[in-house]
Structure formats: structure tokens, C-alpha cells
Structure 1
Amino acid sequence: MAELSKEQQRDFEAAAFRRLVKHLRERTDVQNIDLMNLAGFCRNCLSNWYREAAEETGVALTKDESREIVYGMPYAEWQAKHQTEASDAKKAQFEASRPKDH
């Protein structure tokens, strides 16, 4: 494996994060409950992790601000445009595998 400097690692991780966010913004057909059921995290989790990282460096972000960074628009607007009602089966699957911190 190539030896990466701390700066290279940070830059590559940041680039991967930006690509993931771009991908999730483009895949509005993939609902958060689908992500949670398959991967154990969703756009909201990602925005929470972003906010927590900012707070660790002394930068205060609200939940709404960090969600807008991930969603590319206010969360309520994304919900109105793209969120669909989850089926009972998806809701049951989520409840059965729901992480303790959600």
C-alpha cells in the first residue's frame, strides 16, 4: 500500500465524502429508510456526523445547517420533493434493526 501523508489521507477522505454526498443528492429515489435498512446509516446520520465533527473543532452547526449541507437544500424542502411514505414492511424492518442512538 502506498504511504500517504496525513494531508493526503485527509484530502482523499474529503474527496470521497464529497462524492458520497453528491451521489446521495442525485439518488433521491433512495429513501433514508432504505439506507438504514441496508447499511445502518442514512443522510441524517451523515449530517449528524458532520455536525459532530464541526463541534469537535469548536464550530457550532445546527441540525438544520448540517442537514442542508448533506441534502443540498433545506431538509423540509427535500422531504416535500422526494420523501415517500415507507411501507409497513420497511418500517418493521427498520424497527427490528434500529440502532440504539436513533
Structure 2
Amino acid sequence: MDPLDRVDDAAAAAAFRRLVRHLRHRTDAQNVDLMGLAGFCRNCLSDWIGEAAGLDKPAAREAIYGMPYEAWKDRHQQEASPEQLARMAESVKRNA
């Protein structure tokens, strides 16, 4: 059994919420950079929570971003550089 599966659901949910709130605070951590380093980003989290909770895409993204996705993009998203996009593409190749 994976040790993660032994973590209580309430504790796992609290850790997830802390991660999401951290990402809301760190708007300087761009999704393209997260994808380039870790192979996932806020949009991935919103897809996963949407699947788990039965939410449509806009509701799931608002749950993760803390506001409508378009508002977050307008306020915080920067243009991705070719280097960022290349790192992201290489990183995504490593995802299962």
C-alpha cells in the first residue's frame, strides 16, 4: 500500500487546501513555470478536483483560482517565453 493512502482524508484535504491557497498567494509562480518544473499546474489541479467533485470546468477553476479563470488570467498571467514553453513541453513528456 502506498503510504499516501494511509493519510487520513481530512488531513489530505487540509494539505490540498493549503497547497491551493499557497498557489493563489504565489501568483508570480506562472502555470507555464509550474508545468516546466513539475508537469502540473493550477489548471491540472482544477481538472483533478473537477473530476473528483463532479464540477464543470468553470466551477472547478474558480475553486482553485479563487476567482473566475478569466479574471485571474487578466490580473496575473504573463506571456510565456519560448524557453518556458520548451521547458513545459519537455516536462509534460515525462508525465505518465
Is residue 2:40 matched to residue 1:46?
A: no
Structure 1: gaps (5+ residues)? 1-5, 56-60
Aligned to 1:37: 36
| Residues paired across the two proteins, number | 90
Larger Rg: 1
CA contact (8 A) 2:27 2:76 kept: yes
- The separation in 2 between residues aligned to 1:91 and 1:79, in whole angstroms, is 17
Partner letter of residue 18 of structure 2? R
Aligned to 2:27: 28
Structure with the bigger RCO (C-alpha within 8 Å, sep 6+) is 2
TM-score (norm 2): 0.86
TM-score (norm 1): 0.81
- The separation in 2 between residues aligned to 1:95 and 1:20, in whole angstroms, is 24
Residue 99 (structure 1) shift = 4.7
- The residue correspondences of 1:18-97 to structure 2 (distance < 5 A) are 18-55=17-54, 61-97=55-91
Question: What is the percentage of aligned positions where both structures have the same residue?
Answer: 56
